[in-house]
């Protein structure tokens, strides 16, 4: 007979209560990014509170409630004593709370001069006397986390005595970004970036001199970069989302979203964006700084604003960066920046804000547990970022094409095709002299585009007789020059307005092009061949190139249909 023994109760552990104080969405995002360094410890009870007084507080309470955290009211927090208080900012109001306080930056170092907040025209936010001392002169923080040793002298100059409470903790967020680099290809696939495409990450901070205050740059990029070669992602500062609301942000970028823009939310994957990106265009914000520190080519969209501390690494970074010339071809500027890129030039500057590289949050965790008078359970794990779910627009059903034909002989050649969004046509370079062809699917609802398309593609696969009926109806209702309908994954039928019926069979020519080619590609190549004086009196074999790389080359064989069952 088995004797069941009672299981010994687990030993009681002493609970430590930690209070997270936030004042903006930016602070929330920073704390959420590094707090997992203390996960998997049942000794810790985490509470959150929103500090009053910030002009950017609106929405923070709701944001935290949606995260299902234990949220206290400020009055409640003031009545209690905590074992540790963490904040990704510092100000006098924190001094009203009871418990050891550990403050650290919410961005890449300390670089903004905001006299309304610091009461100083020389001390940056986060390193000012007004923030670090109470009205009675007492130091607010028990420990001041710094991202680089050079900041200790800044702190000592502004707040004498505070340097003795400082500790260089590095930048756990940047370390986590760097540690996620092995997932780059996975992140790119998650964002829909093909192996032959380059991802341009546009990033904007907030304020009067940020990138989004320079209207139209995102639209210009989307209008000038060939869509099969590039994707564009946009990262906006949390305050932009808070000030305008998601509905307004979506509305402001409606044309861009419907032209292929990937809009990354502040709390969903901006870190993934710069890991996956090939080049960054931005301003003086932390995301741009991190991208350059990661070795990405960087182009500045705005000059350094007056409120940057001139001797700060951020100011020197933005001064040293190559500017974007919005009156010149952005495509060529991006290609040039990538080909000439020497990552060491800007990394030498960004390294002055990012100390303890590769520390991976160990010093941050050690500081937390020292203040709690606890032994850390283990070295902190560096967590992977999850692939974001970017905001995207509707499918483009009408596009502008440029077509370039290189004939090998009368029966063979190559057609280079580039696609551009028609709804952003007004943002083409002022000296653009290229000829564009308008191609649209038959699902286009914009009357102007529907009536003026030179090539129209059936949006669905049709049977042979259905295709003939569809073509007849379209020819009677619009001025279209060429129609195409897919009969199978690799077979299309095409008809000229005043010409014969053609059949085309397509084949991907590389391993990268395994999915069936879209019938619009076939239509564009046939149209280009005909415009250049080619004929299909004999079967013609064409190679179609959609990018500057052969990775996605497609082969088609086109034959004029005489006596076929398809012939009307």
Full DSSP string of 322-375 = EEP-TTS-HHHHHHHHHHH--HHHHHHHHTTT--STT-TTHHHHHHHHHHHT--
Give the model's pLDDT for residue 3.
Answer: 54
> For residue 455, which of 407, 411, 429, 492 has the smallest C-alpha distance?
492
Element housing 456 (H / E): strand 455-457
The strand pairing partners of 101, in sequence order, are 85
Strands 166-168 and 455-457: unpaired
> For residue 266, which of 244, 297, 295, 284 has the smallest C-alpha distance?
244
In angstroms, the CA 328 to CA 549 distance is 24
Beta carbons within 8 Å of 210's beta carbon, 6+ residues apart: 204, 237, 283, 285, 302
- Answer yes or no: are the C-beta atoms of 125 and 117 closer than 8 Å: yes
Q: 39 is written with which tokens?
A: 């996960």
Q: State the Rg of the chain over Cα.
A: 29
Domain 16-172+360-372 matches domain 174-350 at the CATH topology level: yes
- Answer yes or no: are the C-beta atoms of 203 and 287 closer than 8 Å: yes
- Answer yes or no: are the C-beta atoms of 30 and 173 closer than 8 Å: yes
In angstroms, the CA 7 to CA 363 distance is 38
The strand pairing partners of 19, in sequence order, are 47, 85
Burial class (CB in 10 A: 0-12, 13-18, 19+), 483: buried
Q: 467 is written with which tokens?
A: 């295709």
Give the model's pLDDT for residue 509.
Answer: 72
Residue 149 sits at the vertex; the CA angle it makes with 148 and 153, to the nearest 5 degrees, is: 120
Give the model's pLDDT for residue 568.
Answer: 46
174-350 fold: Rossmann fold (3.40.50)
* CATH 3.90.180.10 for domain 16-172+360-372: no
Beta carbons within 8 Å of 246's beta carbon, 6+ residues apart: 265
Ordered DSSP codes for 466-485: HHHHHHHHHHHHS--SEEEE
| Claim: this prediction has a pTM higher than 0.85 | yes
> For residue 128, which of 167, 99, 89, 96 has the smallest C-alpha distance?
89
Beta carbons within 8 Å of 170's beta carbon, 6+ residues apart: 147, 354, 355, 356, 357, 359, 361, 363, 364
Q: Which residues of the chain have pLDDT under 50?
A: 563-568
The strand pairing partners of 398, in sequence order, are 440
Ordered DSSP codes for 191-206: TT--TT-EEEEEEE--
Q: 144 is written with which tokens?
A: 């001041």
In angstroms, the CA 205 to CA 333 distance is 22
Give the model's pLDDT for residue 9.
Answer: 56
Cβ density class 130-167: b for 16+ within 10 Å, e for less: ebbbeeeeebbbebbbbbbeebbebbeebbeebbebbb
Backbone angles phi, psi at 34, to 5 degrees: -110, -15
- Residue tagged 């074992």 (tokens): 83
Give the model's pLDDT for residue 429.
Answer: 85
Q: What is the pLDDT of residues 202-219, one digit of tens each?
A: 999 998 889 988 779 999
Beta carbons within 8 Å of 460's beta carbon, 6+ residues apart: none
> For residue 398, which of 441, 446, 434, 452 has the smallest C-alpha distance?
441
Give the model's pLDDT for residue 6.
Answer: 55
In angstroms, the CA 14 to CA 324 distance is 57
* DSSP type of residue 423: G
Q: Structural domain boundaries of the chain?
A: 16-172+360-372, 174-350, 398-560
Q: 474 is written with which tokens?
A: 């379209």
Helix, strand, coil share (%) of the chain residues, nearest 5 = 35, 20, 45
C-alpha 279 chain-centroid distance? 11
Beta carbons within 8 Å of 431's beta carbon, 6+ residues apart: none
Q: What is the pLDDT of residues 144-170, one digit of tens each?
A: 999 999 999 999 999 999 999 999 999
- Answer yes or no: are the C-beta atoms of 361 and 34 closer than 8 Å: yes
Burial class (CB in 10 A: 0-12, 13-18, 19+), 414: middle
In angstroms, the CA 348 to CA 176 distance is 20
The strand pairing partners of 199, in sequence order, are 231
């Amino acid at each position: 007979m088995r004797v069941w023994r009672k299981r010994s109760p687990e030993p009681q552990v002493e609970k430590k209560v930690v209070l997270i104080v936030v004042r903006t969405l930016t602070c929330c995002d920073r704390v959420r990014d590094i707090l997992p360094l203390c996960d998997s410890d049942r000794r810790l009870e985490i509470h959150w509170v929103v500090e009053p007084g910030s002009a950017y507080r609106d929405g923070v309470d709701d944001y935290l409630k949606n995260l299902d955290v234990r949220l206290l009211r400020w009055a409640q927090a003031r009545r209690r004593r905590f074992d540790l208080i963490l904040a990704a900012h510092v100000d006098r109001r924190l001094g009203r709370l009871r418990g050891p306080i550990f403050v650290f930056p919410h961005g890449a170092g300390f670089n903004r001069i905001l006299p309304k907040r610091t009461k100083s025209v020389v001390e940056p936010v986060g390193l000012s006397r007004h923030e670090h001392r109470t009205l009675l002169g007492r130091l607010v923080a028990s420990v001041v986390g710094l991202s680089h040793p050079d900041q200790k002298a800044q702190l000592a100059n502004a707040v004498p005595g505070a340097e003795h409470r400082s500790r260089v903790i590095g930048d756990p967020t940047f370390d986590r970004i760097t540690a996620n680099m092995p997932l780059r290809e996975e992140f790119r696939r998650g964002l829909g970036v093909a192996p032959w495409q380059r991802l341009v990450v546009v990033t904007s901070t907030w304020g009067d001199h940020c990138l989004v205050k320079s209207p139209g740059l995102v639209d210009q990029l989307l209008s000038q970069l060939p869509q099969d070669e590039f994707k564009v992602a946009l990262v906006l500062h949390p305050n932009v989302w808070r000030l305008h609301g998601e509905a307004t942000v979506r509305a402001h970028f409606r044309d861009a979203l419907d032209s292929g823009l990937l809009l990354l939310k502040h709390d969903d994957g901006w870190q993934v964006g710069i890991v996956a990106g090939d080049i960054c265009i931005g301003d003086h914000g932390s995301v741009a700084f991190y991208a350059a520190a990661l070795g990405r080519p960087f182009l500045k969209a705005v000059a350094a604003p007056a409120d940057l501390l001139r001797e700060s690494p951020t100011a020197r970074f933005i001064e040293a960066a190559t500017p974007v010339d919005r009156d010149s071809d952005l495509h060529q500027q991006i290609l040039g920046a990538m080909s000439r890129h020497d990552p060491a030039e800007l990394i030498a500057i960004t390294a002055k804000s990012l100390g303890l590289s590769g520390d991976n949050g160990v010093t941050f965790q050690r500081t937390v547990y020292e203040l709690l008078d606890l032994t850390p359970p283990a070295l902190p794990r560096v967590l992977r970022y999850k692939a974001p779910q970017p905001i995207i627009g509707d499918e483009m059903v009408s596009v502008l094409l440029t077509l370039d034909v290189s004939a090998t002989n009368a029966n063979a050649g190559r057609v280079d095709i580039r696609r551009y969004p028609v709804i952003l046509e007004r943002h083409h370079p002022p000296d653009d002299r290229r000829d564009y062809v308008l191609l649209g699917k038959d699902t286009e609802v914009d009357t102007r585009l529907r009536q003026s398309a030179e090539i129209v593609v059936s949006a669905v696969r049709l049977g042979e007789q259905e295709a003939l009926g569809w073509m007849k109806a379209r020819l009677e209702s619009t001025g279209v020059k060429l129609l195409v309908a897919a009969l199978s994954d690799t077979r299309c039928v095409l008809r000229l307005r005043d010409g014969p019926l053609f059949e085309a069979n397509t084949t991907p020519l590389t391993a990268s092009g395994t999915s069936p080619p879209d019938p619009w590609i076939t239509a564009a190549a046939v149209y280009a061949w005909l415009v250049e004086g080619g004929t299909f009196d004999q079967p013609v074999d064409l190679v179609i190139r959609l990018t500057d790389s052969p990775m996605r080359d497609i082969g088609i064989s086109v034959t004029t249909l005489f006596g076929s069952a398809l012939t009307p």
